[in-house]
Amino acid sequence: MYLEVKDLKKSYGKDSSYIQVLKGVSTGVEKGQICVIQGSSGGGKSTLLNCIGGLDIMDSGSVKIEGKEISGLKPSALADYRRDYLGFIFQFYNLVPNLTVKENIQVCRYLSKDPMDMDEILDILGLTEHKDKFPSQLSGGQQQRCAIARALVKNPKLLLCDEPTGALDSKTSKDILILLEEVNKKYGTTMLIVTHNNAIKNMAHKFIFLKDGNIVEDYVNENRISAAMLEDL
């Protein structure tokens, strides 16, 4: 198993403000799979993603990628893990406003020991003609493409996507999902996609549903369809 999560628990606050967000989550994802994680607000989706990404420190349990345990790593080792293994895509693009598209992507390219070719990334994401524009000159979909390019240029082994289409209209959402699917096919990038959108699970190799901090559904999708065929986005 490429990604293994065992009995993961995470809480916030203390005394009257204490809340346990993850209550012993266990699951796994094979290398090269697209895994969609769905659930109601507060169910623990983003917290699970953040624990896997080393952004939140888990209370207890285990997270392993390629057999590498990340629980208990010191901050410097966690930073190395995020640099060497992960790419992050969020609902809000978090682009640097005074850098061009190309410069935003280069910021992350410099972090990688084995980055992807810049021209290839720009071409794949349809950004070549926009490479010298600033974020304010781009549409929402183009900004999200830039955010995806920034994550991918590191050549990550695992791509963590938190509501990557949440701020986009249905047509642009489909375009972004088609793009992620193409990246998955071309590079074999393992992907975790957190979403509220029920339709997106139909393109996934694996589906997880979280409710009140517990996994209530966890299965391999035997009838997956292409992103281009998704409806009701």
Chain segment 96-155, per-residue pLDDT in tens: 999 999 999 999 888 888 888 999 889 988 999 999 999 999 999 999 899 999 998 988
In a domain, 34, yes or no: yes
The pLDDT of residue 208 is 97
Say if residue 41's pLDDT is above 90.
no
| Average pLDDT, integer, range 214-226 | 96
Residues counted in the chain: 233
| Average pLDDT, integer, range 49-70 | 95
Distance CA(192)–CA(35), nearest Å, equals: 5
Q: What is the pLDDT of residues 104-121, one digit of tens each?
A: 999 988 888 888 899 988
Distance CA(120)–CA(118), nearest Å, equals: 5
In a domain, 61, yes or no: yes
* Beta bridge mates, 198: none
User: What is the pTM (predicted TM-score) of this model?
Assistant: 0.91
The pLDDT of residue 109 is 87
Say if residue 226's pLDDT is above 90.
yes
Query: Sign of the C-alpha dihedral, residues 135, 92, 221, 189?
Result: positive
In a domain, 13, yes or no: yes
What 110-115 contacts at long range (C-beta under 8 Å, 24+ apart), as own/partner pairs, is: 111/83, 111/154, 112/83, 112/153, 112/154, 112/155, 113/84, 114/155, 115/153, 115/154, 115/155
Lowest pLDDT segment from 105-119, 149-163, 203-217: 105-119
In a domain, 190, yes or no: yes
Distance CA(86)–CA(158), nearest Å, equals: 5
Q: Which of 63, 34, 75 is nearest to 160 (CA)?
A: 34
Percent of the chain predicted with pLDDT > 90: 74
In a domain, 119, yes or no: no
> Which residue type sits at 70?
I
Looking at the structure of the chain, the number of domains it has is 1
Q: By residue range, what is the domain housing residue 162?
A: 3-92+156-229
The pLDDT of residue 130 is 97
In a domain, 132, yes or no: no
Q: What CATH number does the domain containing 82 carry?
A: 3.40.50.300
Cα of 17 vs its chain's centroid, Å? 29
The pLDDT of residue 54 is 93
